[in-house]
């Protein structure tokens, strides 16, 4: 105890409250959303890209063993905020999805049944399926599922890491 | 994370289970801050003055100055002398005999009330009933028919009563003999010789036997004391006026701080308890009945104004609080046990293997279902030879098959999702277990960190208090050494073993029995005891510190000390413990780990006030007792000058002052005429005059030799005669010294006095000052009686400064002369 004036101090509560505020709505939502985006970009996007189908590789010795040219399915894998579905019931705070952004992605992922390539043909409407050149259909290639299966834990951990980083910044810790 | 759907895109959501809790925490933190600010302000104002280091310095400096011993001692002696005198007057016994009877009565009955009357009556009765007593073998007259002295008669009565016993007691003569108060003496009147002799020996050893000179001295003391009552000088006065109030304020202040701020302490602590328990309950979903614990604390803290009443109530309510704490602790334990049970039941490894097998099976099932679906899709309806209707039916059948196959796939995928969800839950359970272990480790680490961080402060404070305590022990030792050195100087000055009269000797150094054990305390012992008393106060203050530092109270989030609570050790223990639980629900166990590792520098100490209350009650009692003891000592403190009394005592005892006792003794015992008295008086004056010439000393010595020879021829003996002989020795001794020895005596004494005064003026500590004086006193190899008495008187005067100066305020500041000032 130093000789002299007697002082008492309560230390750290300001920083603590700062940290607390960052863990309350609406700040928390933004923090979590950004953290989840960061995690998804770090983990899911590369995984999906690696599994996305590509064009054939050139038949040259230099390109041997390499993957073919990538198209929109692998190039445009993004993370976006999704619409919350059961916000009130499940107390959903943030909803996001990650996937390839190409208009035909569902064809590749879910596969197609044999169908006509004629102009105006529609399998859904059942139009002109018997005319024109027939496409034999394609097998499904659920590369998204394949890419993200088993990555829940990793994604959660990455989200946590990102959250930690942001909380530390909020309370001024290095 | 929930509802991950792996179809076109990977969908995942975050559920908010934390906002409400953190908002509650935030509110509680704000409340905590406000409550602490109020408490902090109160403590700061209260402690600002009292906890300054100089207060302890003052205690250390002023320890040796309690003077109550002398007045008390003198008062006791005077009262005893009066009793003895009364007995002697009424019975005609000599002083020694009267004091023996008084001592015996005191031993046997515990008081001497009525002894005078009883003994007087007994003496009278023995004279009236001589014939009757003679029949019982009790002699009251000598062979020549003269009445024996009272002492002999009483002895005869005693022996007769002890021999005859009850048969005599029942007689009419005995009733008459003992009727007027003699009954109270029956116990010792019926003693055997051996028992009575033993009792008398005890009485003598106690120092209660007084001589005639002693009785006369008591009169002189009483006159001196009355005169000195008018004088207010000396350290005692300064001590009372400076250190006393400060010390009282210190002890009062600490008690008052605790008392006055106890309600704030309690309310703050209650707030903290409520904060922590509120957070924990909202996170763990436990019904925290401890909230009522906090309310009880709050009520206990604010419902009373008196410290003791308040603390007593808190102590009384502890029974309920302990039960509540136990319920909460049990609740926590049950939660932990529940987790343990669940974890044990899960048997993670087996589940993981089963899960993998299950997943594989589900994937296989999905693949097969998809294959079947693809086959169906790839299969074209062979409609050749069919009618349109048949072909359409065939196509519809195929479509139905496809739909069913799709449904199988969907179902299989759904089962896979459920399986993965179950996996996620299992994973969370595992993380719970890890988190709990981590919590415990972090709690232990945090407590260690807190302890380490405050260890330096505690050590410093402990060292400071330890130094104070050690100072008092050294003080007592130095007092003894100083007194021993002074006594040695006086002994050498006045001849071996005859420095003081027995009365003064016993007053200063106490009475000892044959084995050297102290049977009656003297000034030295009283001073030592006073030093111990002050040391006890510091011990109590040390106990206060210990109470603040070492009193640990268990809380839901760890053990903390009251000092940590009071002196700014407030931290919020949140990070690992509470955050981890919260974030665990999000499946974000890593966040908890990281927060714990980040070691946020904030924890909160939730103190169970009941525990503080119990310790505070004990402490309040100790402080009160120390305060009371100190007050008793201060109240008994006489503001008279010790030195002046000693000076008068020395002069009167040695017959070197106003010659009262010596003159009376000489006149009474030896029947000296006026001329002889004049000789003694003149010799005494010359012996004490430092400026007396050798011629004057020689004349005085010759006259005393003549007087002594005359007295010896008459067979004189006794204390007064011894004193006259010592007076001659004093004068002769001075004659053997020459002026060249002055520098061996005067200079060291003056140096000792100067150094002592200098040390004290500079605010030095008392032990150091005494050490300084001792160094010079020990150098006195061959003191001159007359001159050394003068110087020793001065040194004793300076000793007064040594023994009783406090707080660096020496007595007689500014007096450069070493001679006693007039009027002192």
Q: What is the pLDDT of residue B344?
A: 58
Res. B439 pLDDT band, cuts 50 70 90: low
Q: What does the pLDDT look like over B247-293, one tens digit per residue?
A: 444 444 444 544 555 455 445 444 444 444 444 344 333 333 333 33
Q: What are phi and psi of B648, to 5 degrees?
A: -65, -40
Q: What is the pLDDT of residue B318?
A: 41
Q: Is the pLDDT of residue B132 over 50?
A: yes
Q: What's the complex ipTM?
A: 0.74
Q: What does the pLDDT look like over B463-479, one tens digit per residue?
A: 544 554 454 445 445 54
Which of A5, A23, A170, A171 to substitute to test the interface with B, most B CBs within 10 Å?
A: A23
How far apart are alpha carbons B568 and A7 in whole angstroms?
Answer: 8
Which chain A residues in 30-49 lie under 8 Å from chain B, judged by CB atoms?
A: 32-33, 36, 40, 44, 48
Q: Chain A contact for B348, CB < 8 A?
A: no
Q: Is the pLDDT of residue B418 over 80?
A: yes
User: Is residue B616 within 8 Å of residue B262, measured between CB atoms?
Assistant: yes
Which whole number is the average pLDDT over B731-752? 53
Q: What is the pLDDT of residue A130?
A: 86
Q: Chain A contact for B587, CB < 8 A?
A: yes
Q: What is the pLDDT of residue B205?
A: 56
Which whole number is the average pLDDT over B749-767? 53
Tell me the torsion sign for CA atoms B250, B252, B258, B262.
negative
| A132 to chain B, closest Cα gap in Å | 16
Q: What is the pLDDT of residue B401?
A: 83
Q: Chain B contact for A69, CB < 8 A?
A: no
Yes or no, beta carbons of A98 and B378 under 8 Å apart:
no
Q: Is the pLDDT of residue B739 over 60?
A: no
Q: Is the pLDDT of residue B523 over 60?
A: no
Q: Is the pLDDT of residue B349 over 80?
A: no
Res. B335 pLDDT band, cuts 50 70 90: low
How far apart are alpha carbons A131 and B700 in whole angstroms?
Answer: 164
Nearest Cα residue in chain B from A103: B8
Question: Residue B169 burial by CB count (10 A; 0-12/13-18/19+): exposed, middle or buried?
Answer: middle
User: Is residue B648 within 8 Å of residue B657, measured between CB atoms?
Assistant: yes
DSSP symbol at A81 = E
Which chain A residues in 79-118 lie under 8 Å from chain B, judged by CB atoms?
A: 82, 84, 90-100, 105-106, 109, 111, 113-114
The H or E element spanning position B5 is: strand B2-6
Write out chain A residues lying below 8 Å of B586, CB-based: 156
Yes or no, beta carbons of A6 and B43 under 8 Å apart:
yes
Q: What is the pLDDT of residue A19?
A: 65
Which whole number is the average pLDDT over B526-532? 50
Res. B759 pLDDT band, cuts 50 70 90: low
For A12, which of B1, B2, B602 is closest by C-beta distance? B602
Q: Is the pLDDT of residue B223 over 80?
A: no
Top mean pLDDT of A119-128, B16-25, B322-331 is at A119-128
| Helix, coil or strand: residue B137 | coil
User: Is residue B630 within 8 Å of residue B240, measured between CB atoms?
Assistant: no
Q: Is the pLDDT of residue B747 over 70?
A: no
The H or E element spanning position B260 is: helix B244-284
Tokens 């008591």 locate to B218
Distance (Å) of CA B15 to CA A94, B586, B656, B799? 7, 7, 103, 84
How far apart are alpha carbons A168 and A165 in whole angstroms?
Answer: 5
Yes or no, beta carbons of B14 and A36 under 8 Å apart:
yes
Nearest one of B283, B287, B335 to B592, comparing CA atoms = B283
DSSP symbol at B170 = T
Nearest one of A109, A92, A99, A114 to A40, comparing CA atoms = A99
Q: Is the pLDDT of residue A50 over 80?
A: yes
Q: Is the pLDDT of residue B311 over 80?
A: no
Write out chain B residues lying below 8 Å of A18, CB-based: none
Which of B2, B4, B9 to substitute to test the interface with A, most A CBs within 10 Å?
A: B9
For B370, which of A33, A82, A140 is closest by C-beta distance? A140
Nearest Cα residue in chain B from A156: B588
Q: What does the pLDDT look like over B551-600, one tens digit per residue?
A: 555 444 455 555 444 432 222 232 233 333 333 333 333 333 433 333 32
How far apart are alpha carbons B718 and B698 in whole angstroms?
Answer: 25
Q: What is the pLDDT of residue B247?
A: 42
For B10, which of A33, A144, A163 is closest by C-beta distance? A144
Q: Is the pLDDT of residue B152 over 50?
A: yes
Q: Is the pLDDT of residue B797 over 80?
A: no
Nearest Cα residue in chain A from B56: A3
Q: Is the pLDDT of residue A61 over 80?
A: no
Q: Chain A contact for B388, CB < 8 A?
A: no
Q: Chain A contact for B535, CB < 8 A?
A: no
Q: What does the pLDDT look like over A119-166, one tens digit per residue?
A: 998 888 888 888 889 989 888 888 888 888 888 878 888 887 787 777
Yes or no, beta carbons of A136 and B378 under 8 Å apart:
yes
Which residues are within 8 A (CB) of B385 and not within 5 positions of it... i.e. 6 or more apart? none
Q: What is the pLDDT of residue B412?
A: 84
For the range B97-101, what are the long-range contacts, defined as Cβ-Cβ under 8 Å and sequence gap of 24 or more? B97/B150, B97/B151, B99/B203, B99/B208, B99/B209, B99/B210, B100/B200, B100/B203, B100/B204, B100/B209, B101/B154
Yes or no, beta carbons of B568 and A90 under 8 Å apart:
no
Q: Chain B contact for A144, CB < 8 A?
A: yes
Q: What is the pLDDT of residue B688?
A: 66
For B47, which of A6, A91, A163 is closest by C-beta distance? A6
Tokens 């007769």 locate to B160
CB count within 10 Å of CB B178 equals: 21
Nearest Cα residue in chain A from B380: A114
Yes or no, beta carbons of A90 and B2 under 8 Å apart:
yes
Yes or no, beta carbons of B25 and A20 under 8 Å apart:
yes
| B465 to chain A, closest Cα gap in Å | 12
Q: What is the pLDDT of residue B593?
A: 43
Q: What is the pLDDT of residue B374?
A: 82
Read off the tokens for B125: 């009765």
Which whole number is the average pLDDT over B182-186? 59
């Amino acid at each position: 105890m130093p000789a002299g004036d007697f002082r008492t101090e309560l230390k750290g509560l300001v920083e603590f409250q700062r940290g607390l505020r960052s863990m309350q709505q609406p700040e928390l939502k933004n923090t979590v959303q950004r953290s989840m985006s960061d995690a998804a970009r770090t983990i899911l996007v590369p995984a999906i890209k690696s599994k996305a189908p590509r064009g054939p590789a050139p038949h040259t010795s230099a390109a041997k063993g390499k993957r073919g040219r990538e198209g929109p399915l692998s190039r445009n894998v993004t993370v976006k905020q999704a619409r919350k579905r059961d916000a009130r019931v499940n107390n959903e705070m943030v909803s996001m999805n990650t996937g390839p952004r190409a208009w035909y992605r569902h064809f590749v992922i879910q596969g197609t049944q044999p169908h006509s390539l004629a102009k105006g043909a529609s399998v859904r409407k059942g139009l002109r399926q018997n005319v024109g050149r027939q496409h034999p259909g394609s097998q499904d290639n659920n590369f998204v599922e394949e890419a993200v299966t088993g990555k829940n834990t990793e994604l959660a951990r990455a989200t946590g890491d990102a959250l930690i980083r942001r909380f530390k910044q909020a309370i001024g810790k290095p | 994370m929930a509802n991950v759907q792996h179809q076109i895109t990977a969908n995942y959501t975050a559920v908010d289970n934390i906002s409400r809790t953190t908002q509650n925490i935030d509110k509680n933190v704000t409340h905590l801050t406000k409550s602490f600010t109020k408490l902090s302000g109160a403590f700061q104002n209260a402690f600002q003055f009292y906890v300054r280091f100089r207060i302890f310095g003052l205690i250390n400096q002023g320890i040796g100055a309690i003077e109550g011993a002398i007045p008390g001692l003198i008062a006791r002696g005077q009262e005893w002398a009066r009793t003895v005198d009364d007995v002697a007057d009424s019975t005609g016994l000599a002083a020694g005999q009267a004091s023996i009877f008084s001592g015996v009565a005191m031993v046997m009955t515990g008081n001497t009330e009525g002894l005078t009357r009883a003994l007087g009556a007994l003496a009278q009765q023995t004279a009236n009933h001589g014939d009757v007593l003679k029949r019982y073998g009790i002699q009251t007259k000598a062979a020549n028919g003269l009445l024996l002295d009272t002492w002999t008669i009483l002895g005869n009565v005693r022996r007769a009563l002890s021999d005859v016993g009850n048969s005599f007691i029942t007689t009419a003569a005995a009733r008459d003999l003992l009727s007027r108060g003699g009954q109270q003496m029956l116990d010792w009147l019926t003693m055997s010789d051996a028992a009575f002799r033993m009792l008398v020996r005890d009485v003598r050893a106690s120092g209660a036997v007084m001589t005639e000179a002693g009785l006369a001295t008591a009169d002189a003391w009483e006159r001196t004391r009355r005169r000195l009552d008018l004088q207010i000088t000396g350290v005692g006065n300064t001590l009372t006026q400076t250190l006393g109030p400060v010390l009282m304020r210190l002890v009062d202040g600490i008690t008052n701080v605790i008392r006055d701020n106890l309600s704030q302490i309690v309310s703050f602590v209650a707030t903290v308890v409520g904060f922590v328990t509120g957070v924990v309950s909202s996170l763990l979903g436990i019904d925290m009945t401890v909230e009522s614990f906090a309310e009880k604390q709050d009520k206990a803290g604010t419902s009373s104004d008196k410290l003791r009443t308040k603390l007593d109530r808190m102590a009384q309510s502890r029974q309920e609080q302990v039960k509540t704490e136990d319920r909460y602790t049990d609740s926590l334990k049950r939660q932990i046990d529940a987790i343990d049970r669940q974890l044990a039941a899960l048997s993670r490894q087996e589940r993981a293997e089963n899960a993998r097998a299950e997943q594989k099976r589900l994937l296989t099932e999905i693949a097969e279902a998809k294959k079947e679906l693809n086959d169906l899709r790839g299969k074209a309806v062979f409609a050749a030879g069919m009618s349109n209707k048949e072909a359409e039916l065939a196509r519809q059948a195929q479509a139905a098959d496809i739909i069913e196959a799709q449904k199988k796939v969907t179902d299989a995928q759904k089962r896979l999702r459920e399986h993965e969800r179950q996996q996620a839950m299992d994973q969370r359970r595992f993380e719970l277990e890890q988190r709990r272990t981590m919590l415990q480790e972090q709690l232990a680490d945090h407590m260690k960190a807190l302890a380490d961080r405050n260890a330096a402060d505690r050590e410093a404070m402990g060292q400071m208090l330890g130094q104070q305590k050690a100072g008092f022990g050294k003080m007592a030792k130095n007092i003894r050494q100083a007194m021993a050195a002074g006594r040695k100087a006086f002994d050498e000055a006045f001849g071996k073993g005859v420095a003081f009269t027995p009365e003064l000797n016993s007053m200063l150094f106490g009475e000892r029995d044959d084995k050297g054990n102290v049977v009656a305390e003297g000034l030295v012992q009283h001073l030592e005891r006073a030093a111990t008393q002050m040391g006890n106060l510091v011990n109590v203050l040390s106990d206060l510190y210990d109470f603040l530092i070492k009193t640990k109270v268990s809380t839901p989030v760890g053990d903390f000390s009251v000092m940590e609570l009071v002196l700014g050790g407030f931290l919020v223990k949140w990070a690992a413990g509470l955050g981890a639980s919260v974030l665990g629900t999000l499946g974000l166990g890593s966040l908890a780990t990281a927060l714990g590792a980040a070691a946020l520098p904030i924890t909160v100490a939730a103190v169970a006030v009941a525990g503080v209350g119990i310790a505070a009650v004990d402490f309040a009692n100790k402080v009160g007792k120390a305060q009371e003891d100190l007050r008793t000592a201060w109240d008994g403190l006489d503001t008279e000058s010790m030195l002046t009394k000693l000076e008068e005592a020395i002069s009167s005892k040695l017959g070197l002052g106003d010659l009262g006792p010596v003159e009376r003794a000489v006149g009474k015992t030896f029947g000296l005429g006026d001329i002889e008295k004049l000789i003694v008086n003149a010799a005494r004056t010359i012996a004490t005059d430092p400026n007396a010439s050798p011629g004057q000393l020689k004349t005085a010595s010759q006259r005393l030799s003549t007087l002594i020879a005359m007295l010896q021829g008459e067979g004189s003996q006794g204390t007064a005669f011894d004193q006259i002989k010592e007076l001659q020795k004093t004068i002769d001794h001075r004659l053997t010294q020459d002026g060249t020895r002055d520098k061996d005596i005067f200079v060291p004494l003056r140096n000792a006095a100067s150094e002592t005064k200098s040390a004290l003026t500079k605010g030095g500590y008392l032990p150091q000052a005494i050490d300084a004086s001792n160094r010079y006193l020990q150098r006195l190899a061959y003191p001159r009686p007359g001159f050394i008495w003068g110087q020793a008187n001065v040194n004793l005067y300076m000793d007064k400064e040594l023994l009783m100066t406090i707080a660096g305020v020496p007595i007689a500041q500014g007096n450069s002369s070493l001679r006693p000032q007039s009027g002192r």
